[in-house]
Amino acid sequence: MYEKILLPIDNSEQSPKAGKYAISTANIVGIEIIVLNVIDTYYLNSLTQPDLRKSLD
């Protein structure tokens, strides 16, 4: 039925639980897991433009 599982992780408390569930499901069904590391960049909106450029360099 499924060929792959997309597993987004974001350093939240739910990420390890989602990972365990995805691994368990993938092992049972025999499918591949693709992990997507999601980074919250909301805090960048509060930086001034010059500070943003410095932090990204």
First vs last C-alpha separation in the chain:
44
- CA 24, CA 48: separation in Å to the nearest integer? 44
- DSSP-derived 3-state class of residue 37: strand
pLDDT at 42: 74
CA nearest neighbour of 3 among 23, 27, 32: 32
Which position has the higher pLDDT, 53 or 3?
3
The number of C-alpha atoms within 13 Å of 6 and in the hemisphere containing its C-beta is 4
Task: Indicate if the pLDDT at residue 6 is higher than 70.
Answer: yes
Digit-coded pLDDT (tens) for 14-54: 999 999 999 999 999 999 999 999 987 777 667 666 666 66
| CA 31/CA 25 separation, integer angstroms | 8
Q: pTM score > 0.85 for this model?
A: no
